Structure 1
Amino acid sequence: MAELPKNDIADLALAQQGKARIEWADRSMSVLRQIRDRFAVERPFEGVKIAACMHVTTETANLMRALAAGGAQLALAASNPLSTQDDTAAALVAEYGISTFARNGVDRDGYYAHINAALDGAPHYVFDDGCDLVNTLHTTRTEVLPSVRGGCEETTTGVIRLRQMSKDGALRFPMVAVNDTDTKHMFDNRYGTGQSTLDAIFRATNTLLAGKTVVVAGYGYCGRGVSSRAKGLGANVVVTEIDPTKALDAAMDGFRVLPMIEAAAIGDVFITVTGNRDVLRREHFEAMKDGAIFANSGHFDIEIDIKALTELAVAGPRRVRHQTDEYMTADGRRLLLLAEGRLVNLGAAEGHPAAVMDMSFADQALTAEWLTKNWQSLAPGVHDVPIEIDKEVARLKLETMGLAIDVLTPAQEEYLNSWEHGS
């Protein structure tokens, strides 16, 4: 048996099961598969070392396969303890020879130990889901910084953190905001988060949404997706916002808009998708109904104030169902927290459908290729993905769906590129 790459995973015996699931996801990732086939021929990452901190799922595994086909030497750490699929981690190590540091349910110390293990190889490029790997590089692992040429960030939360780092002059290398491509945030955030969040709530609680009041905190692309899916299932949707434009957008889309303190008293299910902290707090828990369910679909477990919930409760948490913890208040109300307040669609379910992640990871793969060719011309800071990459991913996705679009005639193209034509 060939020597295995460095790893820290739960059980190598799960590798065959993981491989079957990775191959199943691959069936729905036709764009990434085309890119992998080209990478295998052209080898754009020959001699390149990449460290990634991402959700260790079957879809991520297919991104790793594409990069490895292109010659990359990879080290993958998990970006969320509850999202790690142990069988996927085992397959990455045993079947695909990719160094992986991920165990489902690992504690905080183990989480950072895995990030540090991924950085031990002094990578040339870094991929992040939430900016924890980049933050570690700039705080406790600064000796690795000289080897890093650039990287990619795939989450809204991570891009917010990176932009603040850049504003403060702290970011030491170029990072590309893959999250901000249209084929990522318009589809992954809206359709992926919308479906997978509700899927997780159903798996955890088996609740019926029809006729219930669902409160969605945040009306960005993720909030739009969750709200529209909940409405489609017959729920009465209330949106809370801090941004007047987004609140107006929600109202124009037909949703009731309220402050959270008012929504707290009428909601049956609460879903946070803001990227900010303490969105659900003690005053909200005190106003909630018996049996209220709350879940977070933002990246970090800070949107629901679990400390305040614990202090308010006289009993609990008590695990009553899959990833469902019950907290009992002094007046006998039972409040139900899903996935420990972590990213619910990966903590209580399997995350986004592979067909959606196909576009996100195609963006990531092509951006990585572009970055290896252009990193020397990029200043430290946050950079946008070239629009050509975004359009190419959309074009390839349409092609794999059997769809075609129109092409400009020469006269149309000339008109659009001229200022001389009048009305």
Structure 2
Amino acid sequence: MPGLMALRKKYIDKKPLKGMRISGSLHITTHTAVFIETLNILGAEVQWCCSNIYSTQDNIAAAIADKGISIFAWKGENIEDYWWSIFKCFQFNDKKGPTHIIDETGDLALMLQTGYMAEKTPEILDEYHELESKYKMNLFLKRVLAENQIYWQHISSELQAISEITKTGSNELHEYARRFKLLAPVYEISSSRVKSKIDDFYSSKETIAEAIKAVTRTILIGKSVVICGFGEVGQGCAEALKMNGARVSITETNPLLALQAAMQGYRVVELDSICNQADIFITATGQKNIISLDHMKLMKDQAIICSMGHNKLEIELSKLKEDSEIKEIPVSSDLTRYYFSNGNSILIVAEAKLVNLAYDTSQLAFIKSCTYSLLTLLQLELKNKRDSIGFHTINSRLDQEVARLHLNKLEAQITSLTKNTL
């Protein structure tokens, strides 16, 4: 991870993050551990939890804890454990809350801000949510509110900034901000070209095929695959699966992305027209209910469904589980078969969580170094920065700096402009 190592070397003696209290939620993998350790080495006090209950590497969580860093994460947490872990992640020494948040799903910021608003308007915790996760969060917040009516006001009193990594997490916070006031400025990491063009694309391209083959024990050659969404994640998945011999179709709502997919040789279709034909379905949109229960009932026997987008929204898993006529049979810890009354079955990978992380697929240290270097540089800026409360994009200058930190590792050289080339 050359970028993070370079930043450590440059700042280790200066401790520029000293005084920052960072609450973070990311996939707990080897590469995330190096990032967490880097923040700590640079002087920050950090507390961490997981952003995906299936992706935590327990040995890595233990190694982080062994270094004296508070971490609340273990593989296979249930939803109640998940919200408890986030709750604990906010509690620093001397009963202080975080000065900064690094979030991958929007859930840290959502819990803190919903808890804060509930202290002023308790009835918001009674609102209906179709997602079980949100419902469980509200139940947890009700218990907190019953014990302490100013808990979240105290915890959030020194909050200065929120760094939100994913587009879907940003969407969650935008939806929240339409109804309530944000407590701190939100920096949208997904606006960075490093995150979208390097991390999202290459992480998907280099892991999706391996993960599907390993979890499902199936080959991709000749399989009909539908990828819902042709953003950077969808493009990475499409390229990888095509290289593995799959016949790839794309569904897309954006005309420009649909045109781009068609010009790259992919078949662009509507999901309704192909859901009874394809072998494998992958969601990569960040939107709600992309694959509905009605779609699943139309799928061919043993169709495989997995997610590379938002792990709570895209696949209508709750209705699938609530239908009394559908029989659920676990195949493995990462694969579940659902039988319909007509005898057909479908296979859901990792309970619709991110398939590449659920299987513990390598996230490629070099690629993660790029995103984590960007996050580290951003925290260095945010230490003394006070922007207006609202949503902020990432300055392209940080993208350029991250790129420079990694070029030498690839033996790449930049051409300098001279007066004769300007």
State the TM-score, normalized to the length of structure 2.
Answer: 0.87
Computed over aligned residues only, the root mean square deviation of the Cα atoms, in angstroms, reads 1.6
The equivalences for 1:193-212 within 5 A come to 193-212=204-223
CA contact (8 A) 1:39 1:67 kept: no
List aligned pairs for 1:165-184, cutoff 5 A. Answer: 165-168=176-179, 170-184=181-195
Matched AA of 2:408: E
- Tell me the residue number matched to 2:38: 66
Task: Give the superposition deviation at 1:337.
Answer: 0.6
Alignment CA distance shift 1:351-1:185 (3 Å): farther
Partner Cα separation in structure 1 for residue 226 and residue 298 of structure 2: 14
Instruction: Choose which of 90, 100, 124 in structure 1 pairs with 2:99.
Output: 124
Whether the 8 Å contact between 1:313 and 1:329 is mirrored in structure 2 is no
Q: Which runs of 5+ in 1 are unaligned?
A: 1-28, 414-423
**Distance apart, 1:166 and its partner CA:** 4.2
Superposed CA offset, 1:63-90 (max 9, x none)? 1111011111110011111111111110
For residues 326 and 229 of structure 2, the distance between their equivalents in structure 1, rounded to whole angstroms, comes to: 30
TM-score using structure 1 length: 0.87
* Residue type at the aligned position of 1:155: T
- Offset of 1:47 from its aligned partner? 2.0
Kindly provide the amino acid, as one letter, of the partner of residue 92 in structure 1.
I
Counterpart residue type for residue 10 of structure 2: R
Shift of 1:255: 0.7
CA deviation after TM superposition for structure 1 residue 312, in Å: 5.5
Match of 2:72 in 1: 101
Alpha-carbon offset, residue 313 of structure 1: 7.4
SS in 1 for 2:373: helix
1:103 is displaced (CA, Å) by 1.4
Matched, 1:51 2:32: no
- Code of the residue aligned with 2:65 in structure 1: it is V
Q: Supply the distance in 2 between the matched residues of 1:311 and 1:113 (Cα, whole angstroms).
A: 25
Q: Which residue of 2 aligns with 1:407?
A: 416
Counterpart check, 1:162 vs 2:201 = no
Q: Retained in 1: the 8 A contact 2:222–2:246?
A: yes
Corresponding residue number in structure 1 for 2:156: 145
Could you say what secondary structure the match of 1:228 adopts? Answer: helix
Contact kept, 8 Å, 1:125 with 1:148, in 2: the verdict is yes
Percent identity, aligned pairs only? 31
The whole-number CA distance in structure 2 between the counterparts of 1:287 and 1:313 is 18
Shift of 1:39: 2.5
Question: Residues 357-376 of structure 1 correspond to what in structure 2 (within 5 A)?
Answer: 357-374=368-385, 376=386
Number of aligned positions between the proteins: 382
Q: CA deviation at 1:165?
A: 3.8
Shift of 1:233: 0.9
Aligned to 1:326, the other structure's residue is in SS state strand
Structure 2: 5+ residue stretches without partners: 116-151
Q: Match of 1:199, SS?
A: helix
Give the Cα–Cα distance (whole angstroms) in 2 for the partners of residues 317 and 196 of structure 1: 27
Which amino acid in structure 1 is aligned with residue 61 of structure 2? A
Change in Cα spacing, 1:196 to 1:142, as seen in structure 2 (3 Å) is farther
For 2:157 and 2:323, the matched residues in 1 are separated by 48
Q: Deviations over 1:259-292 (max 9, x none)?
A: 1111201110000011112111122112211110
Question: Match of 1:254, as an amino acid?
Answer: G
Q: Which runs of 4+ in 1 moved over 3 A?
A: 163-169, 310-316
